Structure 1
């Protein structure tokens, strides 16, 4: 194949197959699969691990590390593993590799951000506990009643069952998420206790293995794993270069010091097509950009205030002038990438009406100053400043954008409920179900519900939809849950994104999927 592409001999072919491709990321927050809830770590872990399930271009689940995933009642699921998969240290991947990893993920005291995705499994609740004095009380939470979930059971070395509390037809898709990767025996310091430094050099079962260690704020490097059983990569490795400024990454892309930039910066959108030529690319993704309200703060507790701020934002002006049409206004709480999406579910609260917005804002006693915090390493400053200018003009308030250097830092602050004001957030689906936008983002205790929204009626509808017998029935119920979001307005839908990316002359077949991840197995040297 490489010779046909123009390589002239064995030496050139070997050099091309050994190509290390550089890709930009921000500093990951964590590198443990069950504690990875943002895109930077997910990009790296997708190289190091092979999931049980992946998805085709139509969002249908396909088997990868799993030989079969079957259920007769949508409640008890039997997972049989393909033979031949090993971890990078030579250990065989077994049923225990999944059972131990998932129990660790679910065990409350471990504080894993992805724990939420296992709450459907029978016995999950027994692994949780709460501090009797509250979140900030002096007394430590008691030990949970159990350390392992009753819903996970080993059948044999390559087979295990997952019993859910209630039937859920979408469970096969859920297992494609990062939290559900396996872990080797080498990961454990003792039974159920992860080695403290494991995430500095994770050992996975994927097509690439880590080279050295995670060098914080600098890089993570991976190399092709010779012992990989699945489809082998056509490149020698990947250098994930960690940037604090997107414009710096783009300059490196232009000069050939970076091979793939997964999102062209706002500042370069106008010039990039001409500068990159046919190396400037776009493709559909599932990105949903939004603004979260810290509903636990009194100044944002009134829904009238939240809706007024939304009506004061001219989404189309920002997408046209700042994003040059690379993004489109969002008027719903989920992405068009999933079945069940409806346009304009937000209603009048997402219609630009500055006159009505100001009257409603003043009547509800909205705050005189609005702080809007964003992560500076994501290139958000231009549109945040533009949004603040609109709020100043349309609401007569003082609005200031505050940039946190790293997304990981911003998440840590909101997890600790520090007053960061309005929160810049975005979501890329973990698995292609409408529920994935509802539960994690808006459910009580959801893994990415950083703004404290809680509505029992909403939670119950999401749960009912999950228990529906068919996907069609589930969608109808989940749509009712979305209607509650339009009423309560815990967040402001802002924009729907797409992949707008570029690459160097050293690589070809560069594709980003709907999860905004680079398809490393399609990537080839441009010999």
Structure 2
């Protein structure tokens, strides 16, 4: 019989205690889940969220940052290990990675007092996948049993989401999927109260969650989003600051100067043009973190000239990533020598041999493979990709003797349409961000056969089988090894050229206790609730 996978809340209590004793002001948990005398206000930079503040419709950082504080899902990700830990669910079991049982803790309520039960998640998940609600993250449920029937209009609810009783939720999948607990940390799976379904438009401006913080008024578009600590939070780690304010900026340089003056506390993404003066401007009040935000150059493998793997390897080896990072980004990127981010347990440094800069070998390989003498490079416009793609093109001209490189750029929506219709004829720029901390999400959605985000057209039966085996593996170590084997195939076949993982530089004011700054899932600064202030 397969081993049962179980997480218990007892393990989390010790982790939470350790995290809260790192900084100078002391802990924020009085032992009963209630805040113990912490306070102060933290103000942080944010951009205007692209979409209304609805969990299943928020797919970008600006809105997700807010939702992470207003809601708590079934499962959370530990901010240091990235392992799934209890949220509303205090434990979960599976014997086959197909049928999962989640035991919910008691005492969880929304900010309006409504109880959070297993039926809450049934109602929320079914609402999220209903085509009439047009939620952008609906496809995250596509491996839930009954998802396709709801999408096709043949059923009103998913067969695979069931409330056994008030505190027992059962999720049945269409096939084994070991990363389910990791996936459930994503905001698309946050619960919503009945009030949301009655008036989703009103809810989207002032969402009612079950998290550490509750909205203080409505989202003031282009101005700010403010929240206050929810003192009846049922989780193990309540928020430390009493109040959080996200100040919305259209100009990030203005935010940088506001942190300098002390009128803003945190800027989580210092612009590259400010990096050379960062230490002089802030002294010790800054830090940096590698992230799981992955940039790559893909190949349209449906084009004959890129079907020879040696052409792809040569183009990769002819790029001096370090030079581009230093000259274009002022060091604000980390060379990618893998596809799986290093912060994940499966992450490995230096496993991409064809990512090493070797212009002589690249030139020989390119000539022997009969690489094309002319290239068209594609990228989405308006996002700062012009300079570095030009730098890559210059290196290809110099190191491979390519005679002519031209560029095609367009708005992102039009750019993706071009990929959908397979009209791209040369190397193209794209990126991928880890929505939940699991190697599966770094691999499966963009490299398995016929996936909607697989814009290269890459298809490899052994790779697909390894992903399926890893998803079905009960033992985490077995899954990790299989994901790494799948990554090895990608690095051998090179459907994409790994370029870099983004590095975030964080600047903060004297209001912040420096060693309390922590990063969240995928190493992005999401957890303001763990940061302490000098006002405490």
Separation in structure 2 between the aligned mates of residue 373 and residue 185 of structure 1, nearest angstrom: 40
Give the structure 2 partner of residue 33 of structure 1.
55
Gap change, CA 1:116 and 1:346, over 3 Å in 2: farther
Gap change, CA 1:199 and 1:391, over 3 Å in 2: farther
For 2:284, what is the secondary structure of its paired residue?
helix
Separation in structure 2 between the aligned mates of residue 297 and residue 45 of structure 1, nearest angstrom: 42
For 1:77, what is the secondary structure of its paired residue?
strand
- The alpha carbon displacement at 1:173 in A equals 2.3
Give the structure 2 partner of residue 78 of structure 1.
101
- The alpha carbon displacement at 1:337 in A equals 1.4
Query: Among residues 250, 263, 268, which one is paired with 1:262 in the alignment?
Result: 268
Q: Is 1:511 aligned with 2:533?
A: no
For 2:182, what is the secondary structure of its paired residue?
helix
Give the structure 2 partner of residue 223 of structure 1.
228
Give the structure 1 partner of residue 363 of structure 2.
356
Give the structure 1 partner of residue 170 of structure 2.
161
| Cα distance per residue 1:437-464 (max 9 Å; x no partner) | 01233345657x2736452623343122
- Which has the larger displacement, 99-108 or 362-371? 362-371
Kindly indicate whether the alpha-carbon contact (under 8 Å) linking 1:50 and 1:64 is maintained by their aligned counterparts in 2.
yes
Give the structure 2 partner of residue 62 of structure 1.
85
Give the structure 2 partner of residue 288 of structure 1.
294
Separation in structure 2 between the aligned mates of residue 244 and residue 442 of structure 1, nearest angstrom: 35
Query: Among residues 117, 122, 125, which one is paired with 1:102 in the alignment?
Result: 125
Give the structure 1 partner of residue 529 of structure 2.
521
- Which has the larger displacement, 59-68 or 355-364? 355-364
Gap change, CA 1:289 and 1:358, over 3 Å in 2: same
For 2:530, what is the secondary structure of its paired residue?
coil
Gap change, CA 1:478 and 1:450, over 3 Å in 2: closer
- Which has the larger displacement, 354-363 or 269-278? 354-363
- The alpha carbon displacement at 1:468 in A equals 1.7
Q: Structure 1: which 5+ runs fail to align?
A: 7-13, 129-142, 405-409
Give the TM-score, by structure 2 length.
0.79
Gap change, CA 1:292 and 1:43, over 3 Å in 2: farther
For 1:209, what is the secondary structure of its paired residue?
strand
- The alpha carbon displacement at 1:315 in A equals 0.7
- Which has the larger displacement, 40-49 or 481-490? 481-490
For 1:98, what is the secondary structure of its paired residue?
helix
Q: Structure 2: which 5+ runs fail to align?
A: 1-19, 27-35
For 2:528, what is the secondary structure of its paired residue?
coil
- The alpha carbon displacement at 1:276 in A equals 0.7
Gap change, CA 1:460 and 1:196, over 3 Å in 2: farther
Separation in structure 1 between the aligned mates of residue 216 and residue 387 of structure 2, nearest angstrom: 36
Give the structure 2 partner of residue 271 of structure 1.
277
Query: Among residues 158, 171, 176, which one is paired with 2:180 in the alignment?
Result: 171
| Cα distance per residue 1:481-525 (max 9 Å; x no partner) | 223423553432111344421111222222223521232222222
For 1:319, what is the secondary structure of its paired residue?
helix
Q: Is 1:481 aligned with 2:517?
A: no
- The alpha carbon displacement at 1:301 in A equals 7.5
For 1:88, what is the secondary structure of its paired residue?
coil
Gap change, CA 1:452 and 1:199, over 3 Å in 2: farther
- Which has the larger displacement, 488-497 or 46-55? 488-497
For 1:160, what is the secondary structure of its paired residue?
strand
- The alpha carbon displacement at 1:281 in A equals 1.1
Q: Is 1:334 aligned with 2:379?
A: no
Q: Is 1:127 aligned with 2:150?
A: yes
Separation in structure 2 between the aligned mates of residue 521 and residue 204 of structure 1, nearest angstrom: 15
Gap change, CA 1:321 and 1:444, over 3 Å in 2: same
Q: Is 1:451 aligned with 2:455?
A: yes
Kindly indicate whether the alpha-carbon contact (under 8 Å) linking 1:123 and 1:149 is maintained by their aligned counterparts in 2.
yes
Gap change, CA 1:276 and 1:154, over 3 Å in 2: same
Q: Is 1:47 aligned with 2:52?
A: no
Give the structure 2 partner of residue 23 of structure 1.
45
Separation in structure 1 between the aligned mates of residue 212 and residue 185 of structure 2, nearest angstrom: 16
- The alpha carbon displacement at 1:152 in A equals 1.0
For 1:289, what is the secondary structure of its paired residue?
strand
Kindly indicate whether the alpha-carbon contact (under 8 Å) linking 1:312 and 1:357 is maintained by their aligned counterparts in 2.
no
- Which has the larger displacement, 263-272 or 99-108? 99-108
Give the TM-score, by structure 1 length.
0.80
Q: Is 1:209 aligned with 2:231?
A: no
Kindly indicate whether the alpha-carbon contact (under 8 Å) linking 1:152 and 1:162 is maintained by their aligned counterparts in 2.
yes
Separation in structure 2 between the aligned mates of residue 68 and residue 281 of structure 1, nearest angstrom: 35
- The alpha carbon displacement at 1:277 in A equals 1.0
Give the structure 1 partner of residue 191 of structure 2.
182
Separation in structure 1 between the aligned mates of residue 337 and residue 57 of structure 2, nearest angstrom: 30
| Cα distance per residue 1:361-407 (max 9 Å; x no partner) | 9944465442432553xx66654554454355554434558586xxx
Kindly indicate whether the alpha-carbon contact (under 8 Å) linking 1:285 and 1:514 is maintained by their aligned counterparts in 2.
no
Gap change, CA 1:263 and 1:363, over 3 Å in 2: same
Kindly indicate whether the alpha-carbon contact (under 8 Å) linking 2:214 and 2:230 is maintained by their aligned counterparts in 1.
yes
